[in-house]
Structure 1
């Protein structure tokens, strides 16, 4: 061995010398160490502190909890015996216990057990060294109470023989002041829930049962933790200083249990509402309270308002509502009227019935809709239904709930959690039960916590709408809607308009809710405007409406009272809008609403509705509408006869059966709506005077055919020309069954209007209908569009549109032709296209304030042989539009061609200009960034230097400009070799041959001043 290895061996020998004696007996040593470890760990399992911590390790999952229950060594009887809970001992002989087992076996097959089937067995009860002779039996109707090793028990304490005055007498034995007690498996009372509810309602002086949690041993064998609750008996009432009278249950006869049998019940459905079906506890022979119960039964059988009033008279109503607050929080219908689980105590000193909390179960509330009143079976009883349908009683119930959950439910859940935490380790360690009781108890806690927070969320919601609708210059409707479950309390409405509000104002309530101010509507307030403000103070509740319905929610069928908006309408009268104003120009007042949540009392701020931001939930959204425009949805459906009765200035047409006609001089005021089935005929020479704000809207079509000698005229009454005068509105056609025809018809001084929700920007407007116009004159229109055609085909020829405040004609999503017409002296465009494919030919655009032809929103018209003279802009190409222009002449315009993107969601504009003439224009072309190089000009004649290929620069010579003739002199360009290009889309045959010169090849007509 090398020296280095010898040194290592020597070191190891020295190091191991103290323990070298163990190696020969190593296996025995390891066994001993393990045994010591097991003993030590076994001792640790007796630590209640460690056991409590162990009980919470694996509770989040049902299957982990099951495994933990089987394998966790800390789950033992020792934890129960060291819990600090009272430990009761029962000593039952084998023969007496056999009676219990025999009863259980006999009732297992039918699946339920009534009181008549339960047999008492003799036993001894021991607590704190005291021994009592008792009788015991199983309790509960259904198998979970008695079909398993751990059973629910009723214990009745016996009598003691005592000597008194030399006589031996028997006196009842009371255990802690109780004659009978029930030891119930905790899962039946939802573990901590029953004890929590009793402690909660005890604060409101309801009769509550003394209860607690105990450990039970039978013949020395630990049975586990039990919920102890005293039985319904006279000591229960005496302990609470209440008269020892009757406690009623219902439907206690055997027929109640038939529902659990194979074939179900055969009894009458309303048998439970008969006095003979009552179960009387505490004082079985007494008849006190029977007449009060008869009143409740009568309401259940015949639910009328009068019977409900009588039912409330025999109930301690506040205590009843407190009890119903509990069933709402727990979302249970297990204690409905008619059930043996609803216990009613009759206090003979007050003559009132009051509920005793008993057997209240817990069901998780659905998360929608916005209500807290759900039933997963049977629906509400008639008392519950009548209570919830009465808004003030529902408010009273909801305010009681808010007392409990107003802090978000924190204090309420803290009380519950104190009981939950105290008993949970012992429920977990309940060795005779399935090993997931702790997990189930946690689920109950989570569901109660969810219900409490859900009720808080629903009650605190504070949302309402106010819609202010201006119906006339001196009348407005204020429509308030509460959108929350709790409702609102309206305190004040303030309206401000520094330019308008003055004088006296009245407020009426729409009592019959017919939407009209009439004699049925009471005056509820009057005031005078001060500092341009109108103030009305209120003290009114607005509650939601309820609608009872059923639906499947999260896979489960529920019935519930759905929350529907509650509405209140008022009418405000006084000066609310200027007497003379543009029909589409209205400045809304500033409106503030002072309101609170009817339940919580929280202030509800006002928020004006706009399109940029959503209105927050907890606010009153304010919407203002100018509803003074005509709105009559019945008028389009009238027959001819009904229409003529409304409007006698019209007559039935003899030439066109079924049509209405106007002939001669007629004056129209207000709005006339012509039905769908009634065409309108204007006879030659008809002269129609439109009063200010007057409108005609025809759903049945329009034929207006005059003659050169008998033109048809539609005009104002002359007041529009005076200072501050008003124009009439619109003469319009919508969705007519046949094309509209106008010939030799003149329209003047029109404006615009909204009728039946349709905006008419044209003094003459045709929507979703084809239009033919010939030899018509549209003059001095004060509307946005002199003529507006939407979604139709146009044929227009030899027409004049002049003197309009804005556009002459607006063609939206149209096809067709505009020929040989004259557009002049407009404030806006001559022809305005949107989404259209129209040919414009032989037209004169003269002194146009904006664009001679505005081509926008993906329009693709063809413009041929048109004269643009003195316009701000000749042709504008916008927003993905690409017009094709040929043989047009541009003279004296500030800008001849424009190309741009106007609306961001479109692109730039483009255009083809071929064989055109440009003279004396301020600028030829302007293109924005999005339209750069998208305009092409070819084979055209220009009076300025350009870089346009195939174009020539030349001095312009027109035939007779002083006579509005802007044709180029013939043969002017022949010596320069200029050639006209003829694109396929501009195929022409003029006078038998193709035009040989650029620019207009016929002089567009001038119709102004009679030319």
Structure 2
């Protein structure tokens, strides 16, 4: 913004009118009261005038208001300060509070300063009006936020704001404001960008200028709260977020602090992740939605099972995301985010696992200089103690500590860090203070952690041979004792005697448990007995060289550890996902199944077969269904696979998956995290009635999650589910296929990429094609008798529609919420409401567009 500079004019002898003179006097009195007696301003009710004055300066430029005389210097200082902030490139947020509401916050702040801890409830919220510069005024509610009183220092306090209705600021409906230094300036922002780029949920984070009742407070960090927009903006299905309730923890602290006993914890009462209640964000709203309530119940049951130790963490949390989160947290030394009372978890309704939601991390601030996440928290959280999570942590740490990782992150962030650092320097000009991203420390951390993955000696051990000497009648064997010296699981690959490998017994546990707490290490040896086919090395003058060949779980690099000679209940099924069976169990249960020679696939013989119970395949196993096969599932049964499902029909001998009772239907097909593409030529899937088991509630009769799928000459329909087929986070191709007689939508694609070509959709009771956050092409396709929308394009999608015919539809093409729709050579007839519609459904996205030619 450019301000017009007003040149000082030479005085003239012509008398001035009384009106300008009075205006100048009024301005002088006003500025004197507003800027030299701030407390009086608040109590005298001048806030509205002051706010209007500042808005005028911001809107018209500091030079638009002229003061002469002694107060000119006051105006000059004010306009110089406003100009600095107005030119920092950040948006400006106005917060307006009535006197009595501001006084309520003052009283709450005084109470917190008295005890040393800020305790908040919903009763602390008070009405507020907020507005971005040039934006609409939005009503909401506001309260102070933060746990410790560092959030209440001076005049820059931290706030939590909830907006009413569809109001949003920077696409946030609920958000927090806090000083940039609270979370170590740009480091928190950069860490969040890194996490989101790695597929880990994190609160969106930015910076704004803030004025409270016309008073410029300076720059603030703005962070979204745990609302639905957080989930949906990052490619997840709408769902619930839960946490360990920390209220009891802070109540216990306050119990001591308010009496002047400043201790870090209660004396005899223990408050931690094991004793904390589990609560759901926006619990009242969730309880009113049957689907969300079921998901919340399942999520809390999972977290409760973790609390009580009924199930290992690896069966409750998404192991890949959790291990990756720990690794990135370690790289940024962001330990504060993994204290138990800062954990937040999203329940993924498709995988029925909990995912971390990162916030309040404070990189490079809380952890000791050389500490790692594991050193800091391994003794305090069984989450990191889970061997599978630690193995992923190691693998991810190996990946992110390789040369080039941080450099790629810098390239992705581009010029934005420099722009934000320049903005922060307006308020924090001290060059000795690091307000930008601390790249030097990040590179140093990377180098240090890379070295941790190259231990000098990961294990120590002893051996003793039996039955190798003359007169020893015992069977020749080698007893080995190994102790892990690492805080990470270590796999024993083999034992070598003079370089000759000895394999571990088939029933041996080859993974050594890690040291749980390096500060108070308790070492637990693991013992192996290996048969010796060759005893000659023990008949030499010198004893043989015995080595253990090991590697850190998750990595391939092997370490050689020389050994010293020495003298001397059933697991509970947790969660709604059905348990998988072994290959042997499946082959015994279903006579129509056979295993491939390499045991990577299950083959279904041609014929008509009835399937009782759920057919759940082991992880990574493919299912190959031969041409001329019909699988008839009993009511409610589900086909669940974590590998590709190939229905290999032909024109004369299609593959059919249906229900034994068409009136009752069957659950449907779910494919999770299959790396290889599923191929369905000449396949027919019908009579799916969906899955609703506790917290496992899917909208699709056919669901592909993070798994590619290709249909050719396939027929999908006659279903009773919200979506006949739902593809999430995957690639797809529907070629020359037919979708018919659906209960609601035919195809629902969420965050997908693919094409629909030469296909037909008819007699659809909802949308024929419904995509969100996706990139799709539809060509040479016919849509007929569609009750709702022929093509629904939502949530920042891009779609190309060419040579498509629509006949008898509700709305032909609907483009919503920042989506781009390109239409060519398409015919739409008998649209009951509209052939084309572009509109905003979710205000957090923005307007959509349609570009149509040859329509």
Determine which structure has more spread, i.e. the larger CA radius of gyration.
1
Q: TM class by shorter-chain length?
A: 0.3 to 0.5
